[in-house]
Structure 1
């Protein structure tokens, strides 16, 4: 059993242990329940274990940060077809949108294949599967320019022509970092199938035209060169070439911090629009109460957002009492 599964099982056992104390010793009195800890899921069909896991979310103070990490991992499981069971219940609208997107993408792929069979000269030259996603539902991915090999250029053009027959109001942005390619490597010992990323494929396909290539980067010396290793072999006939692991933690935290700033701004403006005039302490406490369902806002961060909103003329300080704020319509 993986460490993650062991951890979840142990947390559930701990929760069950103390819940039994609450039920048996204290007659399930509300004083002994943490806020949200006894909430029931509305979907009675969800399995008991999954229901307990979801209950654990009530005890996570920074739900927005957890959700963003979860969404990153869910995106990879969905895109690389590792999701082996249905997702239980609706965790957030974005995650529900991700699952829906994958269903629509399969339908879109079926339409694309029908288009290829019924349209003259529409031939990408290779087997092509494109997953079209909705930007707002998925984590943000950097889209780097890539000088596509000729084989891939044809694919992109054919799919673009197909997609324009379906809609002219949506722009396609290709995220090559999430793409995978199966290419045939003809080595001297034997022919092998290589499963690589789009970037890796673009680099390898260059050696169909060149035996040796000089690098043109700041990080590799100009005296170095790359050449095709015709002697390469492996005991397997089909191998996956992995990329180095990337620590996404810093990027996720930055994204969540940005979302929190927007959330704090919206909360402060919403409160002040309703109250018109409010003291500093009351404003901070109401903001904490509104946002507490998703994360525990830092008092200093709220103060900074208030100052920023004053600078942007959403609020103003009372001339006689600097701790009193007025909403500017």
Structure 2
């Protein structure tokens, strides 16, 4: 269109008619002036755009260093255990706050699989904290965790790391041994006292069934160590003896004897199983020494009169007898001598 206008004005500027010639010349000058203004504006815009482009290039070059830092941060988030540990530690107290539980339910459903996988974290501290977190989650959302979610935690009671095993044992107490606190009243509470065949008897049978189903033979000492500080049934030796002398656990007598022997040994010595890592400490404190003495006295009161009956019942089973005759190593033998003199 502009070409047509220029050709028209050029033709009119050569016209013999003065009015056409002057008008065409004036119009051509006006258009030329306008085009000059447009050209100047375009040059100005071009220069400004060039400066902005250079500034953006410089900014992108600078931000590339920031991206590298972000990559390092993401890498740390994925690989540094302290980051995962702090995240789990921050979540733990939230499940004790009733006012936020509704909001936490959606979050827990979304990240449940990730949390369950973290119990097997390569860092034992992260795994231990995650077990504690899942125990809190089960207390407030008992229907959320399925069996497949719980199995990895159950297996950790046999872990070489004691803190992780104890945390898994606490989850086991909460999920499986649901009457453990009521069972506390059934334990022996005084010298020579006898606990009943009530809640603890059922719990001990559940414990033996768990041990059998776990198929971790010869690892009863690890199971006992994981539960001995948190579940009183582990030291309910009277109920264990009563079960062995009865016919209620006929198919699981060997496993119950294993648990009994391991429980007696650890209660009397306070020593964890061989191969399970614990924080090295100095000599036992006064309270710990007193607890060991009380436990040793109580187990002696229960087992000294019961041992002959147990040996008589299982005299034909070599393995059971071999386990039972190791019990006197943990007795207060002066109590045995005193009992013989009284008789």
TM superposition score normalised by structure 1:
0.27
Query: More strand per residue: 1 or 2?
Result: 1
Structure with the greater alpha carbon radius of gyration? 2
